[in-house]
Amino acid sequence: MSLPGFIDTYKTLIATPSISSTDTSWDQSNQDVINNLATWFESLGFKVAVTEVPDVPGKYNLVATLGQGEGGLLLAGHTDTVPYDEGQWSKDPFKLTEEGNKLYGLGSIDMKGFFAFILEALKQMDISKLDKPLRILATADEETTMAGARDIAARQSIKPEYAVIGEPTGLVPVFMHKGHMSEGIRITGRSGHSSDPKNGLNAIEIMHKVLAELLKVQQIFKDKYNSPHFEVPAPTLNFGHIHGGDSPNRICGCCELHIDMRPIPGVSTDELFITLKTALAEIDKAYPGAIDIFHLHEPIPAYECCATSELVKVAEALSGHQAEAVNYCTEAPFIQQLGCDTIVMGPGHIAQAHQPDEYLDLSFVTPTTELLKNLIQRFCNSAQAN
């Protein structure tokens, strides 16, 4: 079959919903996106393997391979998107709209559109001359649990030497980012009539004590840890959601807080979680059985690639940008578990991600396509190596 053109490929990807969400009313399968990618890469001569992600029905990963053996280059991206704010989009999120030198659509930069760039680069190359393996990885559920990337890391079925994840970095190489932890703290008290406080145990009052201790933990993070590579140099602790009680004339029987913590490289997720539990130990002792601390999802560790890696240096030279660290997180720590040097670099800007009217500026089309062609030549063609 003949491959669709760049814009038509983009249109198909955007028109195929693949939202992942912890809210089941939003959550969707990514199978149709994977099937389209499988067809397109097979038409270019890639061997395609599609696997269902364990314990996540309807969610699939794809690995497309050109060549044999280990080493070479992996180009990676996720096939899911976040939900969208229907009332805030001025355009149909599932219809690619070209306007004002921009391509609008859900997933245009975060990040289904990256696969259209890969296909466009491959169409412009003589891939028969590549003598090292080129692999394309398309994962599921990056926006929630990262289950797809975790499964790829666990399988260890591919062994690239280098990997590039095409998240929207403005084509600036990213060699380091923070991790991500979402934790829940639930206080279970004892409800009762508000006219007599001694007949109950007010969960909101206990949560007030918890919040006071967590504010101290924020300061501990600032005092104990520091990485000058980041704009925000210390791990952060954010109060994101709290809910408790149901009526002003009832003693609150349950209160729940959700927090976000972001470890820096060199600081494990376990270390931050232990710091959290230690800070609340005295309250736990004072109110036995009242405090439950739990993961809202499995923690995502921080990631770092050696700044002097050949991949980093080549990416800096090709992009014209010095590699940098960012505060958000990606699938990089899991891809890196395959044993490959890994960077994050792709078209679009993170400021447009997760926003109404998400868009790709068309000024990225030529430089991104050329960048991918050069990376593929550099790491999949022995004649191009130093």
Of 295, 324, 349, which residue sits at a domain end?
295
pLDDT of residue 234: 97
Span 343-358, mean pLDDT? 96
* One domain for residues 139 and 10: yes
Active site residue 310: no
Task: Let me know if residue 211 belongs to a domain.
Answer: yes
* One domain for residues 219 and 323: no
Task: Let me know if residue 1 belongs to a domain.
Answer: no
Query: pLDDT tens, 111-148?
Result: 999 999 999 999 999 999 999 999 999 999 999 999 99
> Which residues form the domain of 208?
181-295
* One domain for residues 60 and 120: yes
* One domain for residues 250 and 359: no
Q: What is the CATH number of the domain that holds 260?
A: 3.30.70.360
Q: Does residue 219 register a pLDDT over 70?
A: yes
- DSSP letter string, 206-271: HHHHHHHHHHHHHHHHHHH---TTSSS-S-EEEEEEEEE-S-TTB---EEEEEEEEEPPTTS-HHH
* One domain for residues 22 and 69: yes
111 upstream amide cis, omega within 30 of 0: yes
* One domain for residues 52 and 150: yes
- Confidence grade of residue 235 (pLDDT, cut at 50, 70, 90): very high
Query: pLDDT tens, 64-83?
Result: 999 999 999 999 999 999 99
Give the rounded percent of residues in the chain with a pLDDT score beyond 90: 97
Span 289-295, mean pLDDT? 97
- Confidence grade of residue 2 (pLDDT, cut at 50, 70, 90): confident
Q: Does residue 386 register a pLDDT over 60?
A: no
Q: What is the CATH number of the domain that holds 114?
A: 3.40.630.10
Q: Which of 141, 142, 143, 167 is catalytic?
A: 142
Q: Which of 80, 141, 143, 316 is catalytic?
A: 80
* One domain for residues 150 and 214: no
Q: Given CA atoms 209, 212, 214, 216 in this order, what sign does their dihedral have?
A: negative
* One domain for residues 26 and 74: yes
* One domain for residues 108 and 215: no
pLDDT of residue 385: 62
How high is the mean pLDDT of the chain? Answer: 97
* One domain for residues 28 and 171: yes
Task: Let me know if residue 73 belongs to a domain.
Answer: yes
* One domain for residues 100 and 86: yes
* One domain for residues 257 and 280: yes
Q: Does residue 378 register a pLDDT over 60?
A: yes
Active site residue 316: no
